[in-house]
Amino acid sequence: MFLLSGHAEIIDAGAGTVTYKPITEGFEYGVIAFVQDGQFHIGHKAQCEIKLDANAGEIGWWGFEITMTGGTIPIEPPTGLNQVISGYQPPKAVNFSNTPIFQLGGQDFANSKFAHTTGNEINALDIVNHQSAVIGDRKPKADITIGAKALSEVNQYQQAWDGEEMPLLLEHGKVAGEKIRFQYPAVSLSMPTPSDIQGALGYDIECTAMDHADGVYSIIFS
């Protein structure tokens, strides 16, 4: 799904990592097979938008919005289909024990909500002599809710007003083979909105991923 959403896949066997970074050309397409109303279907020229919600006290989940061209074609199920799942790891809740790193601007913050989206805008063309689905625009961002610090320590209102850019980092999992790391080299902040975190003051902030020499963002599995 990462390949179908405009990402390059970088496998480093020595380091034991698989990294996905957004690309601007050479997008891959896919064929999606599914069962609807008891009928097997095939969809062609598929690309997708990816979302992740990782809220404290909950199990994080991925969402995929798939765009296909030419509709879907009911067919007889191909023979020899097998479901292969290997190395499956039971999911663990996002919390103090399982999520060791959350930083904004190089500082640790209490974090209760984190939502990433690739922000893909997919245009589907189905016209005479031409069918395609293409990522026409992309606006990646992360919506976060963090614990508020004293303004004398860090003033995120001023940072948003000044258009300051800063890194954003989230890492979930502590054991090799179970880790996922979201790394944004530079994000700009929306004006914080006060929020309640179980009786404590927090801020809701939209973090827009900005262009950077190290890429817009990276999603690293290790």
pLDDT in 10s for each residue of the chain, 222 residues: 899 899 999 999 999 999 999 998 888 888 888 777 778 887 777 888 999 999 999 999 999 888 876 556 677 776 766 666 677 778 889 999 999 999 999 999 999 999 999 998 887 777 777 666 778 788 999 999 999 999 999 999 999 999 999 999 999 999 888 899 999 999 999 999 999 999 999 999 999 999 999 999 999 999
Helices (H), the chain: 156-162
Q: Which residues of 186-200 are buried (b: 16+ CB within 10 A; e: fewer)?
A: bbbbeebeebebeee
Predicted TM-score of the model (pTM): 0.86
What is d(CA 102, CA 22) in angstroms, rounded to the nearest whole number? 22
What is d(CA 218, CA 10) in angstroms, rounded to the nearest whole number? 10
Domain residue spans in the chain? Answer: 3-221
